[in-house]
Amino acid sequence: MKKVIYLQKIGDVDDIVLKKLKKNLNSFFKEFIDSVEISPDSIPLKVSEYSPSKRQYNGSLTVRRLYKYCNERKHFRTLGIIDKDIFSGEFKFIFGNAIIPKKQDLNSPGASLIQIKRLKEGFYNRPENKAQFELRVLKEAIHELGHTFCLEHCNNKCVMQFSNSLLEADEKPAKFCLSCSKKLKDLFGNLD
């Protein structure tokens, strides 16, 4: 199987965000994967995944739809990008989520999702900061893709730290700790 990470728009997403993320993920994961590609088609937003009372989309439903979509296409990994606020279960909001492979292997497809709405300073009525925004998008993307590569939350100084606020998201580094790096190397080493 060709190891491609597909970036998948859900609804309208600025192409500049995807192009920058593609470039950043390509260099970040270059030792593990063949390439990062932008899917030419956009998956539509769904009214059935929208909660009018919360004014948010249900990220759990969206990521499951995405998983089904990439499973049918036999895509290696998919990262959905949505420019809407999302929630999941009891969490008032989430930056992203992922379907973690049941078995600790990379042969079954994996899908993940990030929102970019809450990564923009404008969401908090502050002036935009392009470099900061791009770094946030990259970190959340690495984190959710990390889950699809069977990584769990990590307490080290690591991109796999759980973050429940923008401050926590900003504080975690844009890299894996030694322990998570080793797990990744082992998993990709076992991949045929």
Q: Give the CA distances from residue 185 to residues 32, 34, 114, 149, 190, in Å, rounded to whole numbers and listed in that order.
A: 8, 15, 24, 10, 9
Amino acid at 18: L
177 contacts Zn ion (rule: CB under 5 A)? yes
187 contacts Zn ion (rule: CB under 5 A)? no
Measured from the CB of residue 144, what is the shortest distance to Zn ion in angstroms? 7
Please pick, among 49, 128, 144, 168, the residue that the annotation labels catalytic. 144
**How many C-beta neighbours within 10 Å does residue 69 have?**
19
Annotated catalytic residue 37: no
Residues numbered 136 to 155 that lie near Zn ion (CB under 5 A) are: 154
Query: Which of 160, 169, 172, 184 contacts Zn ion by CB under 5 A?
Result: 160
Query: Which is closer to Zn ion, CB of 130 or CB of 157?
Result: 157
Query: Which of 156, 166, 187, 188 contacts Zn ion by CB under 5 A?
Result: 156
Strand-pairing partners, residue 91, are 88
Residues with Cβ < 8 Å from 34, sequence gap 6 or more? 2, 3, 4
Measured from the CB of residue 178, what is the shortest distance to Zn ion in angstroms? 8
Nearest to 62 by CA among 90, 98, 105: 98
Residues with Cβ < 8 Å from 40, sequence gap 6 or more? none
Measured from the CB of residue 123, what is the shortest distance to Zn ion in angstroms? 20
Measured from the CB of residue 160, what is the shortest distance to Zn ion in angstroms? 4
Roughly what angle, to the nearest 10 degrees, separates helices 130-148 and 15-28? 60
Query: Which is closer to Zn ion, CB of 162 or CB of 190?
Result: 162
Query: Which of 77, 180, 183, 184 contacts Zn ion by CB under 5 A?
Result: 180
Query: Which is closer to Zn ion, CB of 26 or CB of 156?
Result: 156
User: In a 3-state reduction of DSSP, which class is residue 31?
Assistant: coil
List contacts with Zn ion (CB under 5 A).
Answer: 154, 156, 158, 160, 177, 180
Active site residues: 144
